[in-house]
Every structure is written in C-alpha cells, then in structure tokens.
C-alpha cells in the first residue's frame, strides 16, 4: 500500500505523519485537507489517504490490517464501519465503550487504540452555534455510529427527552435504552421506526443517516413537519448545503451544519494522532474553506 507523493519542501515542517480514512463513499471527504493543513500549521509533514474497501476489492478487516502493517500512525473510520471496528480495538474510556462506535484509531506497539471524536466534536459544535441553549426534546434519526455518538452528546448537553428513529427497530430501541441507562432515567427516551410520529413535538431534529450525502440523495424529513422546532442538525457535510438543511432553514429553523461536526471532530482526532493541535483554528478554518471541494 502506497501513499500519494507529498511535498516535503514546505518551510518549517519536521516530522512525517502518515494517516488515512477508511470508509465507503468518501471521495469527497475533506479530511485529507483538514489534516494536511493542521499538520502544516503544527510543523508536521502530514500525508492523509483515502481507503475504500469495496473499490480495493477487499473487506474492511483486510484494509484495516494493511493500514496498520504499512506503518500508518492511525486512521479515521467512517460509515459504515464505525461500529464494526470497535470490537477490534483497545478502548481506554468507559464512555467510548458505552457508545460502541469508534471513528479514530491509533496504531501502537501494544495494539490499536480507539477513540470517538464525533461525541466531543458534536458537543463543541453545538455549544459554538447555540451557546448554553438546552437541546430540549429531540428526535434523532439514525441509530448507527454517528447517531450513537450524537445521542450521548445530547445527554451531556442536558437533553430532556430523546426519541430515536431507525428503520431497524432493534437498533433504535437499543440506543434509546442505552441513553436511559446512562442518564439513570433522567432523560425520557423512546424509539420508533416512523419519522413523522417521532418529530411531531420535538424541539430539535437530528439527521444521523446518510440521506443527503453525495450518492444518497434525499431528506429524512418531510418539509411539512418542519417549522415548530427551535433547532436542527445534519451530520452530513458532503455537501454542506443538504436538502434537509435547506428545508429546515426555509421553515425558519436554526440549523447546525455537518461541517461544524466534521471540523471539531477532526481537530480532536488530529490531537490524538499527533499530540498537537493547531493554535490558530480561525486560520485553519479559513484555509480549509478556501480549498474547492473535490468534484
């Protein structure tokens, strides 16, 4: 497995760090740009490559093992492998074990360690956008890897009630039960497979499904149901301006975009990978936004 050539002539760059992302439908991911720019601002020569198992003709385990054995410092893991990878890792904190989903992996001599920066990234993004506003009652659509991280983030932010919606009734029930247990009953939880019934009285709506992503067109919510909510969040960020985001904004709902989760989780992942964090996040954000998205 080889990485793309990387320009080492940039002034001030020192240590070389090899990173990557494993997932499906990731050709438009901005993660390579974020980590390379963060490296430049931190004095590191960072390479960051995309690994798509189905296009490589390999299963996830084979790609993961190849990244580890080829000397990468670590990898990010995205849809649909965040839950699959968790069983292969050393997980050092109870919260990540309870979430049961990992998006950041560091390869080390004692084994591969797993972390969840979607959780911390969502909390940081929510606070930046909404300040101290409590989430209230929330309808969360999608009980997969990012849905789990966001659900526990909503718990930390003080959500009063959470309805988990998923086409897989067992997954929805399991996540709702996990939040009820973690909150010791303080958060009223329920699960449904019907989106309409779940978000009728919600103060916030969260999309944690792939709907809206390039290759997965559409919206998880009928626009007629939008307008009474105070806020909404779409975990999708490729594109940033999803149909769901457009619908919610047109209905007067304040929307937190998936780009903000992507940015904050990425900074935390970079810190875990390298032990450093760019001091000037405003410059990093500006530089990232100046790079045209991959077509």
The CB density around residue 9, as the number of other CB atoms within 10 Å, is 6
Helix (H, G, I), strand (E, B) or coil at 115: strand
- Give the side-chain half-sphere CA count within 13 A for 242: 32
Q: Give the residue numbers annotated as catalytic, written as ranges.
A: 81
Query: CA-to-CA distance for 164 and 176, rounded, in angstroms?
Result: 6
The CB density around residue 55, as the number of other CB atoms within 10 Å, is 11
At which residue do the structure tokens 């990232």 appear?
288
269 DSSP β-pair partners: none
Q: What dihedral do alpha carbons 220, 141, 146, 3 form, nearest 10°? A: -10
Instruction: For residue 109, give every residue at least 6 positions away whose Cβ sits within 8 Å of its Cβ, in sequence order, or none.
Output: none
Query: CA-to-CA distance for 97 and 77, rounded, in angstroms?
Result: 16
Task: Determine contact, residues 82/53, Cβ cutoff 8 Å.
Answer: no
Angstrom distances, CA of residue 263 to CA of 100, 115, 268, 276? 22, 16, 9, 16
Q: Look at the chain and count its residues.
A: 295
At which residue do the structure tokens 């438009």 appear?
28
């Amino acid at each position: 497995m080889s990485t793309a050539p990387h320009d080492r002539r940039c002034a001030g760059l020192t240590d070389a760090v090899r990173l990557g992302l494993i997932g499906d439908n990731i050709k438009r991911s901005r993660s390579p740009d974020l980590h390379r720019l963060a490296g430049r601002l931190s004095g590191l020569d960072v390479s960051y490559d995309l690994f798509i198992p189905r296009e490589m003709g390999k299963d996830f385990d084979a790609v993961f093992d190849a990244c580890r054995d080829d000397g990468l410092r670590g990898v990010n893991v995205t849809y649909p492998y965040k839950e699959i990878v968790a069983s292969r890792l050393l997980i050092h904190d109870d919260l990540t074990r309870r979430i049961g989903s990992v998006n950041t992996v560091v390869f080390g001599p004692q084994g591969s360690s797993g972390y969840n920066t979607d959780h911390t990234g969502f909390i940081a993004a929510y606070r930046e956008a909404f300040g101290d506003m409590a989430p209230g009652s929330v309808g969360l659509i999608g009980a997969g890897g990012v849905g789990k991280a966001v659900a526990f983030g909503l718990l930390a932010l003080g959500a009063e009630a959470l309805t988990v919606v998923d086409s897989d009734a067992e997954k929805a029930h399991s996540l709702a039960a996990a939040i009820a247990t973690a909150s010791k009953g303080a958060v009223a939880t329920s699960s449904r497979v019907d989106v309409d019934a779940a978000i009728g009285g919600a103060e916030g709506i969260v999309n944690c499904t792939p709907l809206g992503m390039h290759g997965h067109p559409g919206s998880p919510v009928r626009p007629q149901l939008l307008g009474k909510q105070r806020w909404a969040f779409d975990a999708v960020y490729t594109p940033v301006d999803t149909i769901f985001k457009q619908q919610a904004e047109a209905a007067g709902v304040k929307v937190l975009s998936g780009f903000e989760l992507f940015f904050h989780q990425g900074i935390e992942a970079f810190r875990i990978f390298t032990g450093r964090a760019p001091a000037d996040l405003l410059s990093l954000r500006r530089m990232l936004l100046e790079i045209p998205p991959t077509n």
